[in-house]
Structure 1
Amino acid sequence: MLKKLFLFLFALFALLLVVGYFYGSAIISKAIIAGVERFGPPITQTSVELDAVELSILSGNFTLRGLRVGNPEGYRKEHIFDVGEVIVDIDPSTVTSDTIIVNKVHILRTEMSYETGLHGSNVKQLQKNVEAFGAKAEEDTAHEETESEETEVTGRQVIIRELVVDDMKVYTGLMGAGIKVGIPRIEMHDIGDNSDDLTIAESISLILSEVIKSIGPAIRNSVGSVGEAGKSVTDGAVEGVKGLLGQ
């Protein structure tokens, strides 16, 4: 679910950034917010909100602030996914080339909610929502003669020189009980460099797999401080993380 959401947002930005060279950053910033809030909910079948976008066309820098994805119906937390800030530095000379060079991506103040109940987890439900949308989109695309703009963008090659995830917390809950676990800083370098034509889609998949893999150990390490009741919560959360990774 997270992989597909980030892929959608990254593809949307990349497409609008090119248009921004002709129409200006102010218009494009508003277009990004409107696009996320219009096209996000059909994908997740929940609310999707973005507070603000700051975009510098000449420098290739942009910042997303306040990106929130709502929890499926029936779960306690209002949002399943809440990102405070995403700062991206792109080499502007590569925006229209076959390979986009991203100098740095810095993700700050992310909170993720993982809750389980009688009918399964919120993450699993959101995954089902996204998969249902994806299946319909693939079926519709199969009848079209040309590729969509989003497909064209996500098929381009990308190299990310540095990725940093700071101040990430995961809330894990079981039947109303829960704890919040801090995730250690995550750093990745030269993503897509010296590889066989890594696309934007594949890069996002690789990044998010690394992020999600960091969640399980952090949850396990919290067991000692929360006792037996907390152990049942963390055990369930760890299984949920495995599900995210398809393990």
Structure 2
Amino acid sequence: MNEKKKKMIKMIGLGILAFIVVLIFIIHFFLGFIVKAGAENIVPKFTGGPVNMGSFRFNMFTGKATMKKFVIGNPQGYKTEYAINLDNLVVDVDMTSIFSKKLVIQEIRIEGAQVIYELGLGTSNLGEIQNNIGKATRADKKADEKKEETTNEPKEGKKIQISHFYFNDAKVSMSAVALQGVKASVPIPSIHLEGIGKEKEGASIGDAAMEMFNSIFTVVGNMDGSGVGAVKGVGEDAWKKAKGLFE
């Protein structure tokens, strides 16, 4: 191979390398905007209320994503400012699974979330969000089944596995008439789920979201108000009384 060809190959190689570097920079810079816009448009279709994400950072080399101030709003008709405020959410993705049929998420960790449990007539904001997620997930499954029947081809949507889900250092505030305007705030017991979608085919995004939200709703719904007495003079009886009106 003569020097001219070697020089040309070297130039092409450097050009490709430069393109890859620029592409990585563009993806890294714009990914936050793309994910933020996507979350704020897609998640409400499941929860039935507005969603806002403060910021999103993703390291494509480590697979670690960090979200700040991820706020899940209430469905229409509720008065409190939000349902869940996720102050810090960290997702650790197995980058080797990015292009496989099942995306493996090693860990989802939520620290210091603020939950507002607003009780209404026979329902609650968290209960309604839970129902909305369930309805949206079932609707997606029916649409996939209908498409399979029409095309005679199996629907091969992206599945996920979440090896660990942590929900730590969170607090819940109850909003109800029985509390007479006083906010009763208590810590939520830590939650740790393992092996969501661990089965071979994995879980749909909707099913995984449902399992995580159900764990939070169940823990909050079963709380008896222990420890409320230390908060602004609100007693455990007030918490139980407020819940009892709507159960």
After TM superposition, the score normalised by the length of structure 2 is 0.68
Partner of 1:188: 193
1:80 equivalent in alignment to 2:89: no
Deviations 1:148-200 (A, max 9, x none): xx9712xx24251x33211111222222624122112222344444x454324
Q: Does the alignment pair 1:105 with 2:114? A: no
Give the CA deviation at 1:79.
0.5
Give the aligned partner of residue 167 of structure 2: 165
Question: Secondary structure of the residue that 1:117 maps to in structure 2?
Answer: coil
Confirm whether residue 56 of structure 1 aligns to residue 59 of structure 2: yes
Give the aligned residue type for 2:223: A
**Structure 2 Cα separation of the partners of residues 184 and 191 of structure 1:** 20
Pairwise CA distance, 1:129: 5.3
Equivalent in 196, 199, 202 of residue 198 of structure 1 = 202
Unaligned runs of 5+ in 2: 1-22
**Residue 7 of structure 1: aligned partner:** none
CA RMSD of aligned residues (A): 3.6
Moved more, 222-231 or 134-143: 134-143
AA matched with 1:211 = I
Question: Which structure 1 segments of 5+ residues have no match?
Answer: 1-19, 240-247
Percentage of identical aligned residues: 21
Q: Is the 1:76–1:176 Cα contact (8 Å) retained in structure 2?
A: no
How far 1:44 moved relative to its partner? 3.9
Instruction: Work out whether residues 167 and 182 of structure 1, in 8 Å CA contact, stay in contact via their aligned partners in 2.
Output: yes
Aligned counterpart, 1:123: 126
Establish whether residue 114 from structure 1 lines up as the match of residue 117 from structure 2.
yes
Query: Could you tell which deviates more after superposition, 51-60 or 93-102?
Result: 93-102
Q: Aligned equivalents of 2:214 and 2:130: distance in 1?
A: 15
2: distance between equivalents of 1:159 and 1:110? 20
Distance 1:84 1:173 in 2: 20
Equivalent residues, number: 213
1:66 aligns with 2:72: no
Q: Show the counterpart of 2:8.
A: none
Q: Structure 1 residues 182, 227: CA separation in 2 closer, same or farther (over 3 Å shift)?
A: closer
Deviation (angstroms), 1:31:
0.5
